[in-house]
């Protein structure tokens, strides 16, 4: 027999925890890509390359950055839907 939900202890939602870990990993990857792009721009700007040339050469970095930004937004939307705490059901 189980207790009514109101009487059961509340615990962190495991799905929320997983999504937060995924978001942190994606944020680290996003930061790495932005640093890589900035380094490329600084190194190429020494050669007086214009911004349009950099955009063409580094389009894959821009695409990766945009993709990860979208993944983070998706994770945020999923987190908004989930309760932070859930009842731990006891047998």
Instruction: Enter the tokens of residue 89.
Output: 């059901």
**pLDDT tens digits for the chain (91 residues)?**
455 556 677 778 889 999 999 999 999 999 999 999 888 877 776 666 677 777 788 899 999 999 999 999 999 999 999 887 776 766 5
Q: pTM for the full model?
A: 0.71
SS3 34: helix
Q: CA–CA distance from 85 to each of 12, 20, 51, 72, 76 (Å)? A: 4, 14, 48, 21, 16
Instruction: Enter the tokens of residue 9.
Output: 């202890």
Question: Which pLDDT belongs to residue 48?
Answer: 65
Q: How many CB atoms lie within 10 A of CB 58?
A: 17
Question: Which pLDDT belongs to residue 2?
Answer: 58
């Amino acid at each position: 027999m189980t207790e009514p939900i109101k009487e059961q202890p509340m615990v962190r939602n495991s799905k929320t925890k997983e999504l937060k870990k995924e978001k942190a990993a994606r944020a680290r990857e996003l930061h790495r890509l932005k640093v890589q792009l900035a380094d490329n721009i600084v190194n190429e700007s020494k050669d007086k390359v214009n911004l349009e040339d950099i955009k063409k050469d580094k389009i894959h970095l821009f695409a990766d950055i945009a993709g990860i930004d979208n993944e983070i937004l998706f994770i945020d939307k999923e987190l908004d839907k989930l309760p932070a705490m859930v009842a731990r059901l006891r047998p």
